[in-house]
A and B are shown apart, each in its own frame.
Chain A
Amino acid sequence: MAATATGPFGFAPAIAVFPLVAFVITLLFGKHLPKKGALPGIIATGGSLVVSLVMAAAVAGGDAHHTELYEWTAGAAASETGAETIAFTFGILIDPLSALMLVIVSLVALLVHVFSLGYMNAEGETGLRRYYAELGLFTFSMLAFVFADNLLMAFMFFELVGLCSYLLIGFWFRTESAPSAAKKAFLVTRFGDYFFLIGVVAIAATFGTVGFAGEGSFVTAAETAIEDGATLFGFDAQTWVTITGLLVLGGVLGKSAQFPFHTWLPDAMEGPTTVSALIHAATMVAAGVYLVARMFGYYALSPTALSIIAFVGGFTALFAATMAVVKDDVKQVLAYSTISQYGYMMLGLGVGGYVAGVFHLMNHAFFKALLFLGAGAVIILMHHEQDMWKMGGLKDKAPVVYYTFLAGALALAGIVPFSGFWSKDEVLFDALAVGLSEPVILAAYAMGLVAVFFTGFYTFRMVFLTFHGEPRSDTAEDPHPVGWAVKVPLLALGTLAAVAGLVNMAPIAKLAGVDITFLEFWLDGEYGYVEGLTYHHYHETVAEMAFEESYIGSETTTMLLSAGLSLGLALAGAFTAHTLYNVPDPDRHTTKLGGAYSVLKSNYYQDEYQVWLAEGFTLPLARAADRFDQTVIDGVVNGTSQISLFGSDWVKRIQTGIVTNYAALLVGGFIALLLVLGYLGGWFA
């Protein structure tokens, strides 16, 4: 039920306002504050976390919240479906999905702030005031994006998130690589956002509303239009929903670094590792997938859009996982694993597995934040060395970092019972169930399944190279110690990465016949919910509009088969890594791949072809357009003025300055006029 703005929900705006206030305070007074402004950020994100938890508790208590905060402008709309008015507003939507995401984002942001004390302050970085101010703004943008109740507000904060990640990736702007990486991230995501903007305009123009929830949402309007068999802008309603959905998906692919817009994410490693943790786990990259989940009801109406989401997701999962196999930089491996994992989420959402996608989003937020912070800790240990071949043997020197990192790695590889197993398995199960009757989805499922092997392999290659074996450099012999500010976030996230999967153990629930799929109940409206935004509703829509599910034998056997396959492949990958790299002095086995190695090492020449696209195609096109502009357009404009210039140069000669001539012209003109009028009037006829 949709409740009014009473009780705890009255405090909902505070979730985003806290970090905004921290941003302003840090920006103005950061220089004079102890810890250069870390404290306002920690207090603010802590406050956001508390309020988010209160919201989640209120949702668990059977409530939900949808309210309008501020109306920018409203007016008459010439919409295709006949809506009479349109209003652009700021509003808050707290339903199970956004409540869950608010908790995740504020928790990860808090832990990243705390970790920064150890990573940035203790290392004596300069520009910390800027760093903490930007972190505050980043958190604010993401939180506001999460509780946005309409597409336009979501778009605005989506853009703000992009801006903040640009600023933070380019934090070390005096180096050569960081500003270039920041620009790349900004431009690539902006290219996707361009389509998103067109999508927003198209949806607003079609349905006369941009709301996510309630009777007046574009999702409901689209459903009605499809039921009525309406024609929108000359297209069948469902086709038009597909087109607009895919336009919005452009922004999603850019932000969530899905193929072919994934190239910015590995470069984004130029930012501080804490920022990478925030970008990968909870904010920037998560924003894309979250948007798909937020307007899932819309995508559920279009089987084509869903298939594309699923296929792109499955392809990206495999594509990125293969590239992660050959990387030597610990952060690069994690970057490609992020792309791959977001591919799984897209696959899950694309096959209608709303719960699976959101579940993996949640688990990934925890274990990827953990892994990045763990990598940050390793980088502290190694005095800012990121090459895994110079590490080794850190296991005994930093046990806290090792065991928490291992928990994250097990979760990432999808080893039972760590969190990643449960969600990845559910994604793959949903994909298989749909794939059995849809060949495209089956292909996506197969790619996702193969990627499981690679995930297990590169994850444990990273773990073994970093922590096992003999130390391979002097710094690895004698690592820099890490403080409590590093260990506390790692322990918190390590625990979550290990146990978060327990909230939705679907295979066990099926086997034992007990109701322990709590996340599914949560998203299904067992607690508080907003009408039309429940898993139940989505599931029905997908079943009606798009896909049928079928099983090998019974549902339980299919589930066990899928779980067994993915677990077996993950273990096989981990075991391969174990035999190859868990030795005192490992070799660079990846170089034996020959031609495949150089292709993978160069990231399938994706950067090269995109640079070629920019330099070989866009630049000449722009030059041609410029030449056209300079010659034809300017030529017409200049020609017009030249004609009038020359013409008037001639005409001015009749102005002799002699009054008599003027009088003669006057008289002559009058007589001529008289003759013309007379001729037309028929005097001479």
Chain B
Amino acid sequence: MTVDVQYYVLLSMAVFCIGLFGVLTRRNALLFLMSVELMLNAANINLIAFAFYHGNLTGQLFALFTMALAAAEVAVGLGIILVLYRNFRDVDVTVPTTMRW
């Protein structure tokens, strides 16, 4: 038995909204990063679900790319968080606001 594609979309939407909620409400940079991961994976779910629905592997291939991209992004993000901590003794994203204008 197969699951209909709209359930995947609903799942993906739920995961994306959880990630978005995290980004909008959390102050901890690590949680920020995790929320972004959630949003990315929500997109992945969509890609794979529609690839399955259309019987076409392109979406799955792109999901792999997205994972690689997410890994790179986490590396950069963690680097930023480390520097943040070194400068401010904190990982609260509301603290460093001086580099705006």
The answer to whether B98 touches A657, judged by C-beta atoms less than 8 angstroms apart, is yes
Contacts of B20 in A (CB 8 A): 663, 667
Residues facing A in B24-79 (CB within 8 A) are: 24-27, 32
The answer to whether A655 touches B101, judged by C-beta atoms less than 8 angstroms apart, is yes
The answer to whether B23 touches A663, judged by C-beta atoms less than 8 angstroms apart, is yes
The answer to whether A667 touches B32, judged by C-beta atoms less than 8 angstroms apart, is no
A680 within 8 A of B: no
Contacts of A652 in B (CB 8 A): 100-101
Residue of A655, A657, A667 with highest tally of chain B CB at under 10 A: A657
Of all chain A residues, the one with the shortest Cβ separation from B29 is A659
- Nearest-neighbour CB distance to chain B for A655, whole angstroms, equals 5
Of all chain A residues, the one with the shortest Cβ separation from B35 is A663
Assembled-state Cα–Cα distance A667/B32 (Å): 15
B94 within 8 A of A: yes
Contact of A660 (CB < 8 Å), options: B27, B96, B99, B100? B27
Of all chain A residues, the one with the shortest Cβ separation from B100 is A657
- Nearest-neighbour CB distance to chain A for B35, whole angstroms, equals 9
B97 within 8 A of A: yes
The answer to whether A659 touches B101, judged by C-beta atoms less than 8 angstroms apart, is no
B10 within 8 A of A: no
Contact of B32 (CB < 8 Å), options: A656, A657, A659? A659
Q: Contact string, A630-668, partner B, CB cutoff 8 A, digits 1/0?
A: 000000000000000000000010011111100110010
The answer to whether B101 touches A658, judged by C-beta atoms less than 8 angstroms apart, is no
Contacts of A664 in B (CB 8 A): 24
Dominant SS at the A interface?
helix
The answer to whether B23 touches A660, judged by C-beta atoms less than 8 angstroms apart, is yes
Contacts of B96 in A (CB 8 A): 657
The answer to whether B101 touches A667, judged by C-beta atoms less than 8 angstroms apart, is no
Contacts of B98 in A (CB 8 A): 657
Range for the number of chain B residues in contact with chain A: 10 to 19
- Nearest-neighbour CB distance to chain A for B46, whole angstroms, equals 16
Of all chain B residues, the one with the shortest Cβ separation from A666 is B23
B93 within 8 A of A: yes
Number of interface residues of A (CB under 8 A): 10
- Nearest-neighbour CB distance to chain B for A373, whole angstroms, equals 79
The answer to whether B99 touches A657, judged by C-beta atoms less than 8 angstroms apart, is yes
- Nearest-neighbour CB distance to chain A for B24, whole angstroms, equals 6
Contacts of B101 in A (CB 8 A): 652, 655
Contacts of B27 in A (CB 8 A): 660
Of all chain B residues, the one with the shortest Cβ separation from A660 is B24
Of all chain A residues, the one with the shortest Cβ separation from B96 is A657
Assembled-state Cα–Cα distance A663/B96 (Å): 16
- Nearest-neighbour CB distance to chain B for A327, whole angstroms, equals 76
Contacts of A667 in B (CB 8 A): 20, 24
Of all chain B residues, the one with the shortest Cβ separation from A657 is B97
The answer to whether A658 touches B24, judged by C-beta atoms less than 8 angstroms apart, is no
Of all chain B residues, the one with the shortest Cβ separation from A653 is B101
Assembled-state Cα–Cα distance A522/B7 (Å): 109
Q: Contact string, B80-101, partner A, CB cutoff 8 A, digits 1/0?
A: 0000000000000110111111
Assembled-state Cα–Cα distance A656/B99 (Å): 10
- Nearest-neighbour CB distance to chain A for B81, whole angstroms, equals 12
Residue of A660, A664, A667 with highest tally of chain B CB at under 10 A: A660
Residue of A663, A664, A667 with highest tally of chain B CB at under 10 A: A663
Which residue numbers of A lie inside 8 Å of B, CB to CB? 652, 655-660, 663-664, 667
Closest 3 CB pairs of A and B: A657-B97, A657-B100, A663-B23
Extra pairs beyond A658-B97, A660-B25, A663-B23 (16, CB < 8 Å)? A652-B100, A652-B101, A655-B100, A655-B101, A656-B97, A657-B97, A657-B99, A659-B93, A660-B23, A660-B24, A660-B26, A660-B27, A660-B93, A660-B94, A663-B20, A667-B20
Jot down 17 A-B pairs with beta carbons below 8 A, ordered by A.
Answer: A652-B100, A655-B100, A655-B101, A656-B100, A657-B97, A657-B99, A657-B100, A658-B93, A658-B97, A659-B93, A660-B25, A660-B26, A660-B93, A660-B94, A663-B23, A664-B24, A667-B24
